[in-house]
């Protein structure tokens, strides 16, 4: 899976190269390719933004540098995901859809926004990571890379993905490790029973109970 990130802050994307994603990169299952939009700026001052037509505060990212950065990838069939608070709210289902792709282009906005014509021309999906406003799309792009990258085959063991939160529309059941007794709280006896069927049943019940209590909206 190749992630191409169109950004004014390519170094920011390094933050995602840890843990499982780093292993995916080291194993050749994932590539992270930040493309610096400023390298495609319109003049020697490396300008990539301009004043908004119609007036208003802040600067808007110009369409030409973004378009040229996109064209340099030569991936006309790839999805182009624009990270924006006005997009569809990202979730596990969308992560699974994106994980089917070979190349994913992530477009990070900055300043007060980007020229609408670049959105109309190249963007296939507008994605938000939640109802709040970040200073730019880079953190959101890293959220998408992390959530999608871990679903790429062989980055994480399939057993680990099978029972995690949202995989079956429910939150995850509680997990325990040693010590058996932590400050008077003991590990539930059923988990020590060696009864795999009973343990699986207990875990399903706990997953449902946790979902009812913490995220009843998932059951509607």
**Interface ranges with ligand ADE (CB under 6 A):** 83-85, 109, 128-130, 132-134, 137, 140
Please name every residue paired with 79 in a beta bridge, in sequence order, or none if there are none: 104
Residue with tokens 């998932």: 218
Q: Identify which of residues 30 and 81 has a Cβ nearer to ligand ADE in the complex.
A: 81
CB of 15 to ligand ADE, least distance (A): 15
Question: Positive or negative CA dihedral for 112, 116, 117, 123?
Answer: positive
Q: Identify which of residues 57 and 133 has a Cβ nearer to ligand ADE in the complex.
A: 133
CB of 52 to ligand ADE, least distance (A): 17
CB of 198 to ligand ADE, least distance (A): 43
CB of 119 to ligand ADE, least distance (A): 13
Measured in degrees and rounded to the nearest 5, phi and psi for residue 182 equal -115, 110
Q: Identify which of residues 49 and 155 has a Cβ nearer to ligand ADE in the complex.
A: 49
Q: Identify which of residues 89 and 200 has a Cβ nearer to ligand ADE in the complex.
A: 89
Kindly report the CA angle at 115 between 111 and 116, in degrees rounded to 5?
Answer: 125
Task: Determine the Cα–Cα distance for residues 125 and 114; give it in Å rounded to an integer.
Answer: 15
């Amino acid at each position: 899976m190749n992630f191409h990130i169109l950004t004014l802050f390519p170094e920011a994307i390094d933050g995602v190269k840890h843990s499982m994603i780093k292993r995916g990169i080291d194993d050749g299952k994932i590539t992270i390719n930040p493309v610096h939009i400023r390298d495609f700026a319109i003049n020697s001052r490396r300008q990539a933004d301009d004043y908004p037509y119609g007036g208003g505060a802040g600067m808007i990212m110009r369409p030409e540098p973004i378009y040229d950065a996109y064209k340099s990838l030569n991936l006309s069939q790839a999805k182009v995901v624009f990270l924006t608070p006005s997009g569809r709210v990202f979730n596990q289902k969308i992560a699974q859809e994106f994980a089917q792709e070979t190349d994913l282009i992530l477009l990070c906005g900055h300043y007060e926004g980007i020229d609408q014509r670049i959105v109309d021309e190249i963007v296939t999906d507008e994605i938000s990571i939640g109802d709040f406003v970040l200073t730019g799309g880079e953190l959101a792009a890293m959220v998408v890379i992390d959530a999608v990258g871990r679903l790429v085959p062989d980055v994480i063991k399939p057993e680990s993905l099978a029972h995690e939160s949202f995989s079956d529309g429910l939150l995850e059941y509680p997990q325990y490790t040693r010590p058996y007794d932590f400050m008077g709280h003991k590990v539930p006896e059923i988990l020590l029973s060696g009864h795999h069927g009973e343990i699986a049943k207990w875990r399903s019940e706990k997953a449902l109970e946790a979902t009812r209590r913490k995220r009843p909206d998932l059951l509607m």
